[in-house]
A and B are shown apart, each in its own frame.
Chain A
Amino acid sequence: MSDLTAATLEYATRLGDDALVLGHRISEWCSNGPFLEEDLALSNVALDYIGRARMYYTYAAELAGGGKTEDDFAYTRDAREFRNLLIHELPRGDFAYTMVRQLLVDVFNLLYLEALTQSADANLAAIAHKAIKETRYHLRRSKEWVLRLGDGTAESHKRTQRAVDALWGYTHELFEIDALEQSLAEVGIGVNNTGLRPAWLAQVSAILSEATLTVPKDDWAVRGGRVGYHTENLGHLLTELQFLHRAYPGLKW
């Protein structure tokens, strides 16, 4: 396998990990939503993410060869091998927390996928073209909810601000790049995410201000997802996600 193929395989796996872990988190709302329509909406968003993970993993499996499938990536790797950014694995929290995370991630994804549609890798570009259309719908909804909750009752405002404050330190990692991603960005395959922060911050700040929320100071940051250092939460999530496959390897539905 050439270095470029190996790097692309790792990159597709990372993006698949981001999508799978967040998709699983959102799916935890299924049957726990605050009301029926919201339960359906969250389940649908979760499905979009899991579908996205399948596309990235299927491509990674194709690059890996040797008969690997998407399931090998989702079900047989341990927490230390997952490369998702940490913001995706944090527990779902209350509804305000879930919607604030969606807003922060949706604005980021829109910018990121826009850039990825230009990828020199036809498969990654095709996945981005597909995913970005769904992300536009996700963002419309998360934005509406953050406005409604932030500018809602004293209680909803308090919880939404608490979520913004708790999540803010995890957003810095979204804009960090390592040598592998740098090398792919240089050949036009990967996205140089370091340049996306000004646009992200401008959009997020405008929405938070309109929602009467305060944009936190940048005085703390947590990182490590891309090298496999995770919070304790990922292991718990994988325990549930991988249980069936670990207990009955190769089981078919």
Chain B
Amino acid sequence: MSTKNTDFKNIERTAKNREKTWKIITYVLLTFWALIVLFPFYWMVLTSVKSYGAYNAEYIPQLYTLAPTLQNYVDAFTAVPLAKYFLNTIIFTVITTLIMLMVTVFAAFAFARLEFRGRNLLFTLFLALMMIPNELVIITNFVTITNLGLRNTFTGLILPSITSVFYIYLLKENFEQVPDELYKAAKVDGTSDLKYLFKVLIPICQPTIVTITILKVIECWNSYVWPRLITDSPTYFLVSN
């Protein structure tokens, strides 16, 4: 009887030890990758507060600085009109994201809730469009925008960046998860589709909509190829140019 008892304890102990080892390995690996992720950021901040001379004089790069300076930030804003670029990027991002949200919400709603002929066919076509690489269409869009005389304008920057099948798809999946009963109840009450969309669906699916907004803002903020093609006047440069 007693031997059995200790056996159980032994088993319990080894199991606990094993659990502990797993945990330690996990933490070590995760911390390792976290360091790799964080290091470039640390480096960026560090270099940004080093003076130019100090940065160049280092044969062996130093991981700390004794004389931090903000001069580089001042220079960045005075050497090129960086403030203007920032403003441009913000305008571009806000307008694009707002229009994109409207277009996406309406399209997703139509696909998720409204019945019409050819819905599935149209949706499949939309999905097929997802596969086309952006760079493929960039050539024609460049020509189209140039022909419309929209180079170096915000309209030209914004128009092609609006639609994203990826987000329509994501939001449609989310809309469909909302129980059908709510829609029917709203119909019985005589609520219009538009009112149902804004009063019921959008509040319920808020997390997804917020996610889409954040993703789109990041995408706009980081876009490089299209802005570089379509603007050659510094008045419309974005930060990444």
Partners in one complex: no
Interface of B with A (CB < 8 Å)?
none
